[in-house]
Amino acid sequence: MPSKSKKPGSAGRPEPRGAAAAGGAARLRVRKTYKLFIGGAFPRSESGRSYVVNDSRGEFLANASWASRKDVRDAVVAARRAFGGWSGKTPYNRGQILYRIAEMLEGRGRQFVEELRDGGLSREAAEAEVDAAVDRWVWYAGWADKIAQVAGAVNPVAGPFLNVSTPEPTGVVGMLAPRESPLLGLVSVLAPAIVTGNTAVVVADSPLVAVTFAEVLATSDLPAGVVNILTGPREELAPWLAGHMDVNAVDLAGASEELANACETAAAGNLKRVLRPAATDWSADPGTERMTALLETKTVWHPIGV
């Protein structure tokens, strides 16, 4: 029998799923799966739960992983494991790594614009937020090897001693990403924490932008575990994160007043720094306050002339 004719270059290539024999039907899109980001990997929630994410018109976009208390604990373990190596890097090297993240963030700009538009922003507003987020990240990257000069000091001492105060990272920081500015707000709370040598566990209940940002981090030079991102209802996850005994500070930027009170109560079980939520214009000049709020001061005394 004569062999059936094939189109040039089509040998061994399967037909698109759902395509008609004549090739007239449109192919189905590959739906993105929005998972958690823990220890540099993208696991589903250990609970197996997920929730539906709709766009601003109420139409289905995706299913996202619903993190559990166990996922919170796993994220804190990953952040603590990464803390020694990240805080031990030179500030110059941390600045290089953050700048590389900014490069990749800008390269994924079109995707972020579309996801922000799904959340209800106009194209112009979405493009402005993406540009502002990239600029904000670069701004913080530049502070990596400068914040010590601003926050540290050589202190006057009445005696034959040299007294030097230097800033050090406080440790593992739990944070709630702001809802009102999904990308710029996330960048504005995360960058100051990690540029100063801390590691972070972020709860973000707007998963599209948060998980795409996690993909940027995962493909950059950032070591695994420095940033961990959980998605799901913050009212469930935040108190458990705030109450974790191995979390050293909590940034409640994205919390309501009621949730902030619950987190403060949970955080009182051990010594933590708690940054209360405040009305914030995320597009304004951020200053150095978020960086210095997550630093501890170490004072070294050294004799002179000995």
Instruction: Provide the pLDDT for residue 2.
Output: 43
- How do residues 66-119 score in pLDDT, each as one tens digit? 999 999 999 999 999 999 999 999 999 999 999 999 999 999 999 999 999 998
Tally the domains of the chain: 1
- Over residues 188-212, the mean pLDDT reads 95
**pTM summary value:** 0.88
In a domain, 6, yes or no: no
**Does the pLDDT at position 11 exceed 70?**
no
In a domain, 21, yes or no: no
Q: What is the CATH number of the domain that holds 224?
A: 3.40.605.10
Instruction: Provide the pLDDT for residue 3.
Output: 44
pLDDT band at residue 23 using 50, 70 and 90 as cut-offs = low
In a domain, 45, yes or no: no
- Over residues 165-194, the mean pLDDT reads 95
- How do residues 258-284 score in pLDDT, each as one tens digit? 999 999 999 999 989 999 988 888 999
For the chain, give the mean pLDDT.
89
In a domain, 216, yes or no: yes
Comparison of pLDDT for 108 and 27, the residue scoring more = 108
Instruction: Provide the pLDDT for residue 306.
Output: 62
**Does the pLDDT at position 167 exceed 50?**
yes
In a domain, 79, yes or no: yes
In a domain, 262, yes or no: yes
User: What domain range includes position 238?
Assistant: 50-54+61-303
In a domain, 176, yes or no: yes
Which residue is listed with tokens 């589903």?
Answer: 44
pLDDT band at residue 174 using 50, 70 and 90 as cut-offs = very high
In a domain, 37, yes or no: no
- Over residues 183-211, the mean pLDDT reads 95
- Over residues 177-187, the mean pLDDT reads 93
